[in-house]
Structure 1
Amino acid sequence: MLSGKATTQSASGSAGLGGLLSGKTGAALGGGALGLLLGSKKGRKMGGKILTYGGLAALGVVAYKAYSNWQQQQGSAVTQAQPQTLDRLPAPQAEQHCYGVLRAIIGAAKADGHIDDRERELIDNEVARLTSDGALLQWFDAELKKPLDPADIAKSATTAELAAEMYLASILVADEQSFMEKAYLTELAQQLKLAPALKAELEQQARQAVTAAG
């Protein structure tokens, strides 16, 4: 979870993660640090393209469609609220979603066992070029260094919609042909407490997004 210091400083202005991952600045970070993080891993370039196009709001659009389809499948007579995905949230809540989604992306990028020294150096240099926010830089450093723990990552999912976005980001980044990464995704879905039908819908929307991006 975020420290109070990191949350306060990063939410105070455009230097925060939400500012970096939305709009024009988000495209820059997406094409830079996230692009390096994702593109350096075998089999993830297409997923990286989807995640970084126009910032992370594009991920929210795909998650919204998946979540809405899942709600309709439930057949409940009760009117259900519109999903509050990343693309539909005001800035403070979007900031929190950005942190959760990026934690998921970093976790999925580490699921094959490691991020090597060269990849880490490239990521650090790019993030430092885009922000001078000390708390944000420390957050990136801590997330990249910490051992991979799906249960810890899942703690960031404070809403059902954020859980869906985090899983969607993870399956777009990870290589499902890899035993280690497939096992990681299975455990993450369990820790996020995703309903089986929602999990399947997210996976279907991810496949469609990859096809469309190709």
Structure 2
Amino acid sequence: MFDAKKLLDQFLGSQMPGSAGSIGQKGNDLMGMAKANPWKTGALAAVLLGTKTGRSLGSNALKIGGLAVIAGLGYQAYKNYKSGQPAEPTQSLPELLPPPKDSPFSTEPQAVSNDFALSLVRAMIAAAKADGHIDASERSRIMDKVHLSGLGAEAEAFIEAELAKPIDLDALVASAKTEEQRVEIYTASRLTIEPDTRTERGYLDMLAGRLGLPDALVDHIEATVASAKVSL
């Protein structure tokens, strides 16, 4: 089995040899790398997630990374929810850093299984498919571009299969074993799309309900992701 965490990083644009430091510090180097070889950075998100979603996420995720952005946003939203703060988007967020190592949202290697990292990728692809714009022709176009990214045959086959099969909410929900993981599944999905159609909004509402997330917690995730997209 391929390394799903690396796929998630490549998927979101943070996979860069020799990169280190805070997520925000990678931004300038990643933007330069994107210009030199876009298919190995955040442009992959633009290809996989389509037009509207890809343009937003592909450019923003270059600055904030892969697994850490999902966990970091989820951690921030969950912390605000637990502290009773109002769920209101702000003009910008402080520099986003990975969650504390001792947090249930930790992205340390021993804290995140390969299976759950795969679930986060599945959640993002499912959200991207929610409006029904990825038909057979679009899948073929996407896979032509994915092949150029150098992900490897096994990862390519995984992406192709996920794009082709129906959304399986039962499996997605079952993959989240803790409340924190359920928060991350929803955060990954919300980060992927802007719910400005009834179909997309309906999908996110259904996902939140199936995950059993309280409305107030969902509001905090929505506000945190919206603020991140403004500031990135």
TM-score by length of 2: 0.70
Counterpart residue number, 2:169: 150
Counterpart residue number, 1:47: 57
Partners of 2:187 and 2:159 in 1: CA distance: 21
Q: How many residues align?
A: 191
Alpha-carbon displacement from aligned partner over 1:39-60 (angstroms, at most 9, x marks no partner): x233553234344542232222
Alpha-carbon displacement from aligned partner over 1:162-186 (angstroms, at most 9, x marks no partner): 2112211212222322111111111
State whether structure 2 residue 8 is matched by structure 1 residue 21: yes
Counterpart residue number, 1:13: none
Which structure has the highest helix share of the two? 1
Counterpart residue number, 1:69: 80
CA RMSD of aligned residues (A): 2.8
Q: Which blocks of at least 5 consecutive residues in structure 2 are unaligned?
A: 10-14, 20-29, 31-38, 86-100
Q: 1:91 to 1:126 in 2, by over 3 A?
A: farther
Counterpart residue number, 2:192: 173
Partners of 1:34 and 1:189 in 2: CA distance: 23
State whether structure 2 residue 213 is matched by structure 1 residue 203: no
Q: Which blocks of at least 5 consecutive residues in structure 1 are unaligned?
A: 1-8, 11-15, 75-80
Counterpart residue number, 1:182: 201
Comparing 113-122 with 187-196, greater Cα deviation is found at 113-122
Partners of 1:72 and 1:183 in 2: CA distance: 28
Please say if residues 50 and 59 of structure 1, whose CA atoms lie closer than 8 Å, have aligned partners that are also in contact: no
Counterpart residue number, 2:129: 110
Q: 1:167 corresponds to which letter in structure 2?
A: Y
1:106 aligns to what SS in structure 2?
helix
TM-score by length of 1: 0.75
Q: 1:173 to 1:21 in 2, by over 3 A?
A: closer
Q: 1:99 corresponds to which letter in structure 2?
A: L
State whether structure 2 residue 100 is matched by structure 1 residue 90: no
Please say if residues 51 and 59 of structure 1, whose CA atoms lie closer than 8 Å, have aligned partners that are also in contact: no
2:229 aligns to what SS in structure 1?
helix
Identity between Structure 1 and Structure 2 (%): 31
2:158 aligns to what SS in structure 1?
helix
Partners of 2:54 and 2:47 in 1: CA distance: 11
